[in-house]
Amino acid sequence: MAQKSFMPAYLKTHRAGLLEDKIAKAQRLLESCSVCPRDCKVNRKKGEKGFCRAGFLPKVSSSSPHFGEEQPLVGIHGSGTIFLTHCNLGCLFCQNYSISHLDEGKEISIEQLSRMMVTMQSLNCHNINFVSPTHYVPQILAALPYAIALGLSVPLVYNTGGYDSVETLELLDGIFDIYMPDFKYSTEEIAEEYSQARDYPRVAKQAIKEMFRQVGDLVLDDRGIALRGLLIRHLVLPSGLAGTQNVMQFLSQDISKNTYVNIMAQYYPCGDIPPGSPLSRRISKLEYLQAVEIAKKEGITRLD
């Protein structure tokens, strides 16, 4: 698909007059917070905080062109990443622990968030990549009209841990062109022990199905740069803790054999891993190669 013939979903939604209703509905979610599956019921508009510790205004750790993402996002000029502070998961081994757990970042206004997006576009980034956006969906939606008025016209990427409610994702139908969720675990016990989210496997499956319904398989332009679609990340953990077999089977059978998957090898011990944990070591080369082979056997061959 040629880029010049492509229009981001949020522009279509805005021009159809549907964006303001989505913003209003998302804002109401903050009054008794049900933005994510935690369903904390705190009033974030009054400064109350739930599991994720996010307040009413967005908090950002950094924003810049990023070249460490998947190749279809990075392209030539990089992915315009906005790292949002906090997270609705409690992963002990988080690779961005200082941002997700230690509150690294600065609270900004909705207008500042809008300008941040447009600045990334002015640097020729191919997309605006929101890292850990789940708990800030209402704020991102509220920022879009300002950004559109300033000329925003590149695809938006929803770069999430995968712990997203279908109800909130439905509000994003017609907003995000690219969904990039993690699929971290396939067993409840592991999800509870390492991310404080026992229902993670069920929630992630439902969320990924909804994301795929909205955007389908990953579509690239004639330069190999992503325009629209689903991209899955799966971090290989030591001792098979991620449940790669079940994850790949789900993607193959319930989503699409053409799913674009990044099987990631970069796990390293960090964060708050307890002594003696199986997570206290890096994965071996064999463990990684076995994960890739599992994906191929399940029919997943579109690998990053």
Query: Is residue 218 in a domain?
Result: yes
Nearest Cα to Cα of residue 82 among 148, 42, 128, 46: 128
203 within some domain:
yes
* Token output for 115: 């300008």
Instruction: Report the CATH number at residue 270.
Output: 3.20.20.70
* Domain annotation covers residue 49: yes
Cβ partners under 8 Å of residue 289, min gap 6: none
pTM attached to this predicted model:
0.96
Closest CA to 135 of 208, 194, 57: 57
How confident is the model over 6-26, as a mean pLDDT?
Answer: 98
What average pLDDT does the segment 163-176 reach? Answer: 98
Give the pLDDT confidence score for residue 4 in this predicted structure.
65
Instruction: Taking residues 226-250, report their average pLDDT.
Output: 98
Report yes or no on 232 lying in a domain.
yes
- The count of structural domains within the chain is 1
Does 147 map to a domain?
yes
Decide if 304 is inside a domain. no
- Report the Cα–Cα distance between both ends of the chain, in Å, rounded: 20
Whole-angstrom distance, CA of residue 169 vs CA of residue 171: 5
Expressed as residue numbers, the domain containing 260 is: 3-297
Indicate if the pLDDT at residue 96 is higher than 70. Answer: yes
Residue 272: inside a domain:
yes
Which pLDDT value is given to residue 3? 58
Whether 303 maps to a domain, the answer reads no
d(CA 64, CA 257): 33
